Amino acid sequence: MTFDIIQPEAIAPALGAEIAGVDMGQDLDDATTAEIRRALLQYGVIFFRDQDITPDQHLAFAKRFGDLVDYPMVDGLDGFPGIVPVIKLEGETHNFGGIWHSDTTYLAEPPMGAILVARDLPPEGGDTLFANMAMAFDALSGAMKDMLGGLIAVNSSAKGAVAKSREDRQKDMDNVPEPLVAEHPVVRCHPETGEKVLYVNIGHTIAIRGMADEESGPLLDFLFRHQRAEEFTCRFQWRPGSVAFWDNRSTQHYPLNDYHGHKRLMHRITLAGDVPV
């Protein structure tokens, strides 16, 4: 796939590319927007450097790629409810979403993607890992693919580790949402690329419909281990002005929690998705 306007440079064999030639503070034309979207589909997650953008510019960029949706578990910024602060403070030990996951798969329509802007970073650490779930599915045996094809996963917002990671952010909320549950295929078809994607995640998937825990537990444990195999991943080191835009339908991510005693603040906008099939 060739590009005429932007300059993607892959950062790992599995997924991920840094994009040059884009100023997110300016209005994007349709041709540039189309190339960025093609890069997102090709690389799964794309990164931009040295983007000194305001919340208004963050919103304007995101709206070029779809409708915005609220994150159901944490309040947005004052004046910018569509932007969620992803923050860990100096005295906290849990980082927000600090486990491998796809965003909010406990919703009937999980997001298409998200756009994360670095605002305040620790002096070292705080990298984010991403993993390619189309590649993870392709690497399975034929017999495993056949078995998974008809299965439905149960996903919950209340699964222990990821729910605990939100506690610091929810303590000042007036109304903490009740647990949310949704069922989706274990293997989904990407609506734009047609790829088959392994669509369970350790952060939210709690069971397989119609199976006893003794049956689904070992299977899910195997899939969770398989998904985070090093050959499916890339690692992104944040710098001031860095931006990540990931395809939530085909990737997972894991923000590392290796910077205790330091603040890390990111701003996230979430893009509306569809019903996985």
Question: What pLDDT digit, counting tens, does each position of 183-226 carry?
Answer: 999 999 999 999 999 999 999 999 999 999 999 999 999 999 99
The DSSP H or E segment spanning 131 is strand 128-132
Confidence of residue 13 (pLDDT cuts 50, 70, 90): very high
pLDDT value at 160 more than 90: no
C-alpha torsion angle, residues 217, 221, 222, 223 (rounded to 10): 100
Mean pLDDT computed over every residue of the chain: 94
Euclidean distance between CA atoms 216 and 206, whole angstroms:
9
Q: Which of 37, 58, 101, 169 is catalytic?
A: 101
pLDDT at 210: 97
Mean pLDDT of 118-139: 98
Euclidean distance between CA atoms 257 and 203, whole angstroms:
15
**3-state DSSP assignment of residue 114:** strand
Q: 138: which 2 tokens?
A: 């392709």
Confidence of residue 102 (pLDDT cuts 50, 70, 90): very high
pLDDT at 73: 79
Confidence of residue 169 (pLDDT cuts 50, 70, 90): very low
Q: Which of 37, 103, 204, 264 is catalytic?
A: 103
Q: Which of 37, 249, 253, 267 is catalytic?
A: 253
Number of other residues whose CB lies within 10 A of the CB of residue 89: 11
Let me know if 268 is a catalytic residue.
yes
Instruction: Please state the pTM of the whole predicted model.
Output: 0.93
CA 45 to chain centre: 9
Q: Which of 169, 204, 267, 268 is catalytic?
A: 268
Residue 226 burial class via C-beta count within 10 angstroms: exposed 0-12, middle 13-18, buried 19 and up: middle
Euclidean distance between CA atoms 197 and 139, whole angstroms:
11
Shortest CA distance to 95 belongs to which of 164, 156, 45? 164
How does pLDDT run across 39-95, given as a tens digit for each residue? 999 999 999 999 999 999 999 999 999 999 998 878 899 999 999 999 999 999 999
Number of other residues whose CB lies within 10 A of the CB of residue 18: 16
Euclidean distance between CA atoms 70 and 81, whole angstroms:
8
- How are strands ordered across the β-sheet holding 128-132? 233-236, 128-132, 251-255
DSSP string, 124-163: S---EEEEEHHHHHHTS-HHHHHHHTT-EEEEETT-HHHH
pLDDT value at 107 more than 90: yes
pLDDT at 113: 98
- Ordered by where they begin, the domains of the chain are 7-271 (3.60.130.10)
Let me know if 267 is a catalytic residue.
no
**3-state DSSP assignment of residue 39:** helix
pLDDT at 174: 61
